[in-house]
Chains A and B, each alone.
Chain A
Amino acid sequence: MKFNWEYFFQTLPYVASKLNITLSLTIISAIFSLIIGMVFALISYYKVVGLSQLLKVWVSFIRGTPVATQLFFFYYGLANLSSWILNMSPTVAVAVIMSLNMGAFVSETIRGSLISVDEGQREAAMSLGMSGWQMTSRIVIPQAIRVALPPLFNDLINLFKMSSLAFLVGVRDVMGAAKIEGANTFQFFECYACVMLIYWVITLILTAFQKVLEKRCDSIYA
Chain B
Amino acid sequence: MVEVTGLSKTFGKDTEVLKDINLKIKKNEVVAILGPSGTGKSTLLRCLNYLCEPTTGTVRVGNVTVDAAHHTRQEVRNLRRQSAMVFQGYNLFKNKTAKENVMEALVTVQKKPKAEAEQIALKLLEKVGMLERKDFYPAKMSGGQQQRVGIARALAVNPDVLLFDEPTSALDPELVGEVLNTIKQLAEEDTTMILVTHEIRFARNVATRIIFMDGGQIVVDGTPEEVIDHPENPRLRQFLNFVTK
Contact = CB atoms under 8 A, between A and B. Distances in A.
**Do A and B truly interact?**
yes
Contact of B94 (A123, A127, A130, A143): A143
B139 interface: yes
Interface in A133-149: 134, 138-139, 142-143, 146
A143 B95 contact: yes
B51 interface: yes
Interface in A150-209: none
B30 interface: no
Nearest to A128: B105
Given A134-B108, A222-B137, A127 B51 contact: yes
B160 interface: no
Nearest to A120: B91
B71 to A, nearest CB: 15
A221 B94 CA distance: 7
B51 A131 contact: no
Interface SS of A by simple majority:
helix
Contacts of B108: 130-131, 134, 138
B109 A129 contact: yes
A149 to B, nearest CB: 14
Contacts of B94: 117, 121, 143, 221
A121 B77 contact: no
Interface residues of B, number: 27
A124 B157 contact: no
Interface residues of A, number: 21
Contacts of B57: none
A221 B95 contact: yes
A125 interface: yes
Contacts of B239: none
B51 A126 contact: yes
Contacts of A121: 91-94
A128 B91 contact: no
Residue of B77, B90, B139, B140 contacting most chain A CB atoms (<10 Å): B77
Nearest to B52: A123
A141 to B, nearest CB: 9
A168 to B, nearest CB: 44
A124 B154 CA distance: 9
B104 interface: yes
Contacts of B96: 139
B212 to A, nearest CB: 25
A195 B80 CA distance: 61
Interface of A: 117-118, 120-121, 123-131, 134, 138-139, 142-143, 146, 221-222
18 contacts: A118-B91, A120-B91, A123-B85, A125-B104, A126-B80, A127-B49, A127-B51, A127-B83, A128-B153, A129-B77, A129-B157, A134-B108, A138-B104, A138-B108, A139-B93, A146-B95, A221-B95, A222-B137
Given A123-B91, A128-B84, 18 more contacts: A118-B91, A120-B89, A123-B85, A124-B92, A124-B153, A127-B84, A127-B85, A128-B80, A128-B81, A129-B77, A129-B105, A130-B105, A130-B109, A139-B95, A142-B95, A221-B137, A221-B139, A222-B137
